[in-house]
Structure 1
Amino acid sequence: MENLDGSILDAPKIKVTPPGPKSREILKIQEEMETSALNYPKYFNIAIKEARGSTIIDVDDNVYIDWFAGVAVINLGHRNPEIVNALKDQIEKFWHYMEIPSEIRVDFLKEIRETFNFDSKILFTTTGADAVEASVKIARWNTGKRFILSFDNAYHGITAGTLGFTTLPSAKKFQPYYDNNVISVPYPYEYRCPFKDCLNEVLSLVEYEVKTHEIAGILVEPVQGEGGYIVPPKGFLKGLREIADKYNSLLIVDEIQSGVGRTGKMWAYELEGIVPDIVTVAKGIGEGIPISLVAYRKDLDKLPQAFHLGTYRGNPLGLAVGKATIDYIKKYDILNRVVSLGEYAKRKFSEIMEDNYRGSFDVRGLGFMIGIEFSDEKKNPMSEFVTKMIRNMLKEGVIMYKAGIYNNVLRFMAPLTIPRELLSRGLEIFEKALKE
């Protein structure tokens, strides 16, 4: 029986309907002391005691199957033994020393650079949003141009610096002032596309804006994440590459959620065989230890000293985990596993929806990045229905979360190491919650 990540194989086990008494007590204390801006406890009203592989144990001893993975961060499972060993080994040496070189820093640099299909330089950052901000600075510095082209419903972070590039309405409403040197065009969202020929119409709009304005960089998610796990039509990234080349703009690919194996490729841009100019990396590369980076073409390395600073850039613990993550993906052939199990999961989601859902729906995705969009017969978003699904699944022992511009998309983003039996059991619970 395969158990790559040490999951609890008889999960889920619900002893007391969540939230149990101990969880309620801790949630109440958190609410009293922490900001009212918290989000996830509103949906997952449990308190965590322990996590193993693709399973979570709450303080009331309920065991859940994890299809959330900390928003596609824990790609190789909670407390994966090989990742833990790498972390322990580094913790015994040192865990902070700015950007002074070390063996682990050089070892990680060698490993990460080999994953890209271009000769790259690496700039360490601290978070995904920080990586996006740095990537935009690199594009503007190298081209001398002002504008960034982004896409409707994109998510690139919600710091004051990234809100200009993030066009997801739910993220933008909290901050009226942001970088306005940004032009946005529709993303080829085929399920809701207003155009007859979605791909070519969108590419025409992109070319018009790039030709008309001084576009330093085209910033794109190869699969939109918070926008609803939207997979663009084949040819989209190739089209962007051609437009960027034609007008001397740089193609910035945001792989923060789609990277590190989640789509069945190390980087989602590989699915179209393009070579980007700049790539942003975070989330899964650190398995929960904060680390992020920008990889950019070597010939763009015209950056002056102290171009982009930060106290925690290239944290040694994150570097050790990042190296172990890349090694693990290779050692256990995780990419092929994600392709085969992802196809199985997508097929099962489609079958369950066809058999049990009466409205309009769309099941889409690549690998372990699958979105299920719920609408009524007239394609009106079913947002409240999705919230009920999240709560019903939690009560049955599966943690799953939403996305999309209308919050009407459930997204499957389990650890890439989830045992097949837990995946199948989770699908059964998904079907049960849907029927209810």
Structure 2
Amino acid sequence: MENLDGSILEAPKIVVPPPGPKSKEILKMQEEMETSALNYPKYFEIAIKEAKGSTIIDVDDNVYIDWFAGVAVVNLGHRNPEIVKALKDQIEKYWHFVEVPSEVRVNFLKALRETLNFDSKILFTTTGADAVEAAIKIARWNTGKRLILAFDNAYHGITAGTLGFTTYPPAKKFQPYYDNNVITIPYPYEYRCPFKDCLNEILSLVEHEVRTHDVAGILVEPVQGEGGYIVPPKGFLKGLREIADKYGSLLIVDEIQSGVGRTGKMWAYEWEGIVPDLVTIAKGIGEGIPLSLVAYKRDLDKLPQAFHLGTYRGNPLGLAVGKATIEYIKSHGILERVVSLGDYAKKKFNEIMEDNYKGSFDVRGLGFMIGVEFSDAKKNPASDFVKGMIKGLLRNGVIMYKAGLYNNVLRFMAPLTIPKELLYRGLEVFEEVLKRSVFSFQ
């Protein structure tokens, strides 16, 4: 029986309907002491005791199948034994200094660069948003241009800098001041595209803007994440690459959510065979230990000393885990597994929706980055329905979360190592909850 990550194979197991009494008590204490800006406890009303592989155990001893993975971070499962070993080995040596060389640093750099299809230099950062800001700085520094072309519904972070490029409206409403040297273009969102020829008309818009403005870089998610797990039509990234080359702009690919094997390639841009100028990397590369960076073409390495600083850049624990993550993906055939099981899951989601949902829907995705969009018969977003689905899934032992401009997309982002039995069982729970939920919606 396959169990790559040490999951609890008996999951899901609901002892006390969540939130149980112990979870309620801890949730109340958190609410009293932490900010009112908390988000996830409003959807996942549980307090975690332990996590193993692709399963979560709460303080009331309920066991859940994890299709959340800490927002696509714990790609190889919680407490994966090989990742734990790498972490323990490094913690016995040292866990913080600065950017002076060390074996763990150089070994990670070698392993990472081997996964990229271009001769790269690496700049370590502290978070995903910091990586995006650094990539923008590098593009502007090298080109002497100031404008960045970004896409509607994009999510690149919510710092004052990245909010200019994050066009996902819910993220912008709390901060009116941000980098406004930005041009925005529709993303080829085929389910809701206003154009007859979504791909070519959008590429024409991109070319017009890049041709008529001083665009330092085109910033793009190869698959939109928070925007709704939107997969662009084939040819989109190639088209952007050609436009960037034609007009002297740089192509910046944001792989923070789509990278580290989540789509069935190490980097999602590989599906189109392009070579980006810069790539932002975070989330899954550190398996929950904060690690982020920008990889960029060697000929862009004209950066002055102290160009981009940060106390926690290149943390040794993250570096050790990052190297172990890359090695694990290679040695355990994870990419092939993600393609195979991802295709199965997408097909199954489609079948379940066709059999049980009477409104309009769209199932899309690559690998373990699958979005299921819910709308009524007139394509109006079914946001409340999705909120109810999240609660219903949790009560039946599956942790799943939303995305999308209208919060009407459920996204499948399970660990890439999830045992097949738990994938199949989770799909059964999904169908059962959907069947019960449609009566309250139709």
- Output the TM-score relative to the length of structure 1: 1.00
Q: Superposition pairs for residues 106-125 of structure 1, below 5 Å? A: 106-125=106-125
Q: Superposition pairs for residues 26-45 of structure 1, below 5 Å? A: 26-45=26-45
Give the residue type in structure 2 aligned to 1:294. V
- Matched with 2:274 is 274
Give the residue type in structure 2 aligned to 1:63. V
- Matched with 1:382 is 382
Question: Cα deviation per residue 1:37-83 (whole Å; 9 max; x = unaligned)?
Answer: 00000000000000000000000000000000000000000000000
Distance 2:199 2:98 in 1: 44
Within the alignment, does 1:220 sit opposite 2:236 as a pair? no
Q: Superposition pairs for residues 226-375 of structure 1, below 5 Å? A: 226-375=226-375
- Matched with 2:146 is 146
Distance 2:38 2:159 in 1: 16
Distance 1:163 1:212 in 2: 24
SS of residue in 1 equivalent to 2:364:
strand
Within the alignment, does 1:58 sit opposite 2:58 as a pair? yes
Question: Cα deviation per residue 1:155-207 (whole Å; 9 max; x = unaligned)?
Answer: 00001110000000000111001100000000000000000000000000000
Give the residue type in structure 1 aligned to 2:353. M
Distance 1:317 1:109 in 2: 14
Give the residue type in structure 2 aligned to 1:178. Y
Distance 1:202 1:48 in 2: 44
Give the residue type in structure 1 aligned to 2:339. V
SS of residue in 1 equivalent to 2:41:
helix
- 1:222 deviates by 0.1
- Matched with 2:193 is 193
Give the residue type in structure 2 aligned to 1:250. L
- Matched with 2:87 is 87
Distance 2:87 2:204 in 1: 48
Distance 1:106 1:168 in 2: 37
SS of residue in 1 equivalent to 2:162:
coil
Q: Taking every aligned residue pair, what percent have the same amino acid on both sides?
A: 85
Report how many residues are paired.
Answer: 436
Distance 1:375 1:91 in 2: 49
SS of residue in 2 equivalent to 1:393:
helix
- Output the TM-score relative to the length of structure 2: 0.99
Question: Cα deviation per residue 1:226-263 (whole Å; 9 max; x = unaligned)?
Answer: 00000000000000000000000000000000000000
Give the residue type in structure 1 aligned to 2:105. R
Question: Cα deviation per residue 1:319-361 (whole Å; 9 max; x = unaligned)?
Answer: 0000000000001010000000000000000000000000000
- Matched with 1:10 is 10
Distance 1:346 1:111 in 2: 31
Question: Cα deviation per residue 1:292-315 (whole Å; 9 max; x = unaligned)?
Answer: 000000000000000000000000
- 1:403 deviates by 0.1
Question: Cα deviation per residue 1:82-113 (whole Å; 9 max; x = unaligned)?
Answer: 00000000000000011010000000000000
- Matched with 2:160 is 160
- Matched with 2:393 is 393
Give the residue type in structure 2 aligned to 1:173. K
- Matched with 1:414 is 414
Give the residue type in structure 1 aligned to 2:368. F
Following superposition, which runs of at least 4 residues in structure 1 exceed 4 angstroms of deviation?
Answer: none
Distance 2:45 2:132 in 1: 31
- Matched with 1:73 is 73
Distance 2:423 2:180 in 1: 43
Structure 2: gaps (5+ residues): 437-442
Give the residue type in structure 2 aligned to 1:288. G
Distance 2:433 2:209 in 1: 45
Distance 1:174 1:250 in 2: 30
- Matched with 1:174 is 174
Distance 2:342 2:92 in 1: 38
Give the residue type in structure 1 aligned to 2:217. G
SS of residue in 2 equivalent to 1:163:
helix
